[in-house]
Amino acid sequence: MRTFEIDVAMRPGGAVVTVTGDLDLATCPHLIRATDTIPLEGRMLTLELSAVTFMDSTGLNMLLGLRERARAEGGTLDLAGLPEQARNVLDHTSTSDLFALRPGRAA
């Protein structure tokens, strides 16, 4: 079994959530629970994803839902260090342009 870890670091103006492991059906509920408690009103949430080893459509749907939550609450969502495999999921579904993509190691 692969390791899945989430680290939440609150910063002035937002939070950085570092994710390690797969983003899939088994792990997305954990990330949703971890981010549900982060206030987004007028703040930036950065997901540091450079240590993500795999992302499927469940991971994509979770990112889209988190993006919508951030927008609804007046915040923003940035994706940092998106690995090539995860970037391909966004590209193949024409959703890349919906996200602010940044180089890795936002933490």
Domain count, the chain: 1
State the Cα–Cα distance between residues 90 and 17, nearest whole angstrom.
19
Residue 107 lies in a domain: no
DSSP code at position 82: -
Residue 12 lies in a domain: yes
| pLDDT, position 22 | 97
| pLDDT, position 104 | 77
Furthest CA-CA distance within the chain: 38
| Domain housing 84 | 5-102
| pLDDT, position 58 | 97
CB 105 within 8 A of CB 16: no
Q: The whole model's pTM is what?
A: 0.92
The CATH number of whichever domain residue 59 belongs to comes to 3.30.750.24
Residue 57 lies in a domain: yes
Q: What is the mean pLDDT of residues 56-74?
A: 97
Model confidence over 39-60: pLDDT tens digits?
999 999 999 999 999 999 999 9
Residue 92 lies in a domain: yes
State the Cα–Cα distance between residues 35 and 33, nearest whole angstrom.
6
Q: Residue 6 CB: number of other CB atoms within 10 A?
A: 16
